[in-house]
A and B are shown apart, each in its own frame.
Chain A
Amino acid sequence: MKIVVAYKWAPNPQDADVAADGSVDLGRAKWAVSEYDPVALELARQLADATGGEVIGLTVGAAGIDTPLARKAALSRGLDRLVLVADDALDGADGTRVAAVLAAAVRGIGDVDVVLAGDSSVDVAAGQVALTLAGTLGWLGLAAVSAVRVADAGTAGLVVERELPAGTAVVSVPTPVVLAATADAVVPRVAGMKDILAAAKKPVEVLSLAELSVAEPGAVLTTLATAKPGGAERTARIFDGSDAAAAATELVGALRQSGAL
């Protein structure tokens, strides 16, 4: 089974400077594998180990995403090899364009059975790349995937669990398919020293954007304005702590009342 994991090398929002007007400056942020993507990497590795398959990492972005550090960070998390499209023309590309480039790269890799991705990226978090990719490829696409395994002997395809608002659904899925994993589907491995040493020896293929001949985007997105998300409604009750026991009782009472306990 040939599995591709589409992941993002992204700035970490924890390092962002947020100005009073709500604009976000990620200039000082350190880059890493986007927070939810290691879950997809782990799911892919487990699936491949169960089927004797191969896991190929795939990421696209500006030229700066191709550094030795970035390569090792991904390859040490259970990938067999890596395919990169690093071109400054992709700097700030929107989700539709990223999906189009990913689709071209997936076709280029060839014979792919499953593409796994995180549900959304840590910096943009629009959550549409995986399913746009499925659409572009003309494949089935499923979001909210919390588990995946091969179907029982004699049956083709995969068995996928989805965490939906109505409850958990277990579905039988034919391949090829694009799956977007929930943030807590599995606990991803932490790369050890041997993983990182091995990562440096794994093959990396850099595809040029020109070679992939991705059609120019039909529409270009223009951001007109941004605003801070409204703060969550909070009750903000303060308990008088002079009598600690009474305060604790009050607190427990309030938590019960609000349904938190």
Chain B
Amino acid sequence: MSSAAAEPDFDVIVVGGGPAGSVTAYLLAQQGLSVVLIERGEAPGAKNLSGGVLYGRVLDEVFPGFAQSAPVERRITRHVTTFLTGDSSVSLDYAGGPLAEPVNAVTVLRARFDPWLAERAEEAGVFLMPGVRVDSLLREDTPAGPQVVGVRAGDDELRARVVVAADGVNSFLARSIGLRPQPPTHHLAVGVKAVVSLPRTVIEDRFAVSGDQGAAHAIVGDCTLGIGGGGFLYTNTESLSVGVVLRLDDLVKHGRTAAEVFEHYLSHPVLEPYLRGGEIVEYGSHLVAEGGLEMLGQIVTGGMVVVGEAAGLTINSGLTVRGMDLAIGSAVAAAKGIGEAIAAQDVTATGLAAYRRHLDESFVVKDLRTYARAPKFLERPRMYGAYGELAAGLFRDVFRLDGSPRKHLAAVARDSFRRSAVSVRDLVSDGWAGVRAL
């Protein structure tokens, strides 16, 4: 086929039916562009692991009032942060109305949420194409340099003015043309999670929530057997999402498997009471990019942009994993940038650079900057062992009435330090790093 003359089949091809892809496709169709959304799963969401907490502000801008119409599980009104040791725990519990209105965070199950997003795109006129795995990009040399002009799947080729790579953390598409180097392992984490079904009332009793309210627990310390990372426990309507996120290099160094750590986590005496009697209905593991701003590589090239986790957009603060909201934020920026580039009839890297500008101005890059130091901070080993011991020691002494005279809290704290493996210098250093990173 002579390429220069070949008419594109669509204005835009979006590869990947996760939040980034569906929202990009939706917003482009709303601008009147013809868009195809290609997803390898038989239905959007089919390949995506269970879900999590979605920070909903940006989605509310795309779909005002989405929390009423979308299949969200619970509105998070209670955030609990727990430091674990082998047999004890210290928690910070923040609960309050301000978290509920306007919608700050909701839990979602991807098997329900992704199809909803894709349906909105389809309603807006997007051609949904599930069950197709894109194998490669079509590229051509033009006077302006190499340009992506479409995709290939099996024997078929499809052409477009712009291709959007929304194909998730492994982004084969971005890597195939050298946009994203293989991330170093200390920028990769492995997430293992499960959905555990429990009756609604049991969840509400155990987590002290009611109605459509829910709780999000972040857990650090013994739960990961001292491996860099953390655990989470989120309430859905009639299930819990429970999992660990482990730094890949540290996991390898400790000679453990992710499944082993996950087992340990589920049976931890602090976790077990929440999960008791529940049944695992879904289980899986998945890589998470957690390099913050450092992972954000080149996201624009001639004829193609990269959005969502494919672009390296995740924040792992140690207490929360964020990716879906950043994926949606990048979708908003990409749809704007692509719309402008197509209108200006310049879909070269120069024209599509509008996407990068919109992204830089958005909360996405601002938040990545804020958390730029988080990955390094979380590489500090004390985060996962000694601090738990320290905090537990501190609170044990405060709460345990053993007949010895009560000390002032400051004195108790000092004693705890002496017993713990953490030096005051460590604490100051990590504390400072933490304040700056988080």
Contacts and interface: CB of A to CB of B under 8 A. Distances in A.
Interface of A: 17, 28, 30-32, 68-69, 72-73, 190-194, 196-197, 200
Between A30, A196, A197, A200, the greatest number of chain B beta carbons within 10 A of the residue's beta carbon is seen for: A196
Contacts of A196: 129, 131-132
B43 A193 contact: no
B128 A69 contact: yes
B131 A73 contact: yes
Interface residues of B, number: 21
A72 B122 CA distance: 13
Nearest to A193: B156
Contacts of A73: 131
A241 B131 CA distance: 42
Contact of B46 (A30, A191, A194): A30
B132 A192 contact: yes
14 contacts: A17-B281, A28-B281, A30-B111, A32-B42, A68-B128, A69-B130, A72-B128, A191-B131, A191-B132, A193-B132, A193-B154, A193-B156, A193-B158, A196-B129
Contacts of B130: 69
Interface in B115-162: 122, 127-132, 153-158
Contacts of A30: 42-43, 46, 111
Given A193-B129, A196-B129, A69 B154 contact: no
Contact of A193 (B42, B128, B153): B153
Contacts of B156: 192-194
A102 to B, nearest CB: 25
B38 interface: yes
Nearest to A73: B131
Contacts of B158: 193, 197
Contacts of A28: 111, 281
B340 interface: no
A36 to B, nearest CB: 16
Contact of B155 (A31, A68, A192): A192
Contacts of A191: 131-132
A192 B154 contact: yes
B329 to A, nearest CB: 27
A181 B131 CA distance: 24
B115 to A, nearest CB: 9
A17 B195 CA distance: 13
Given A28-B111, A30-B46, A197-B9, A192 B153 contact: yes
Given A193-B38, A193-B132, 20 more contacts: A17-B197, A28-B111, A28-B281, A30-B42, A30-B43, A30-B111, A32-B43, A68-B122, A69-B43, A69-B130, A72-B128, A73-B131, A191-B131, A191-B132, A193-B154, A193-B156, A196-B129, A196-B131, A197-B158, A200-B127
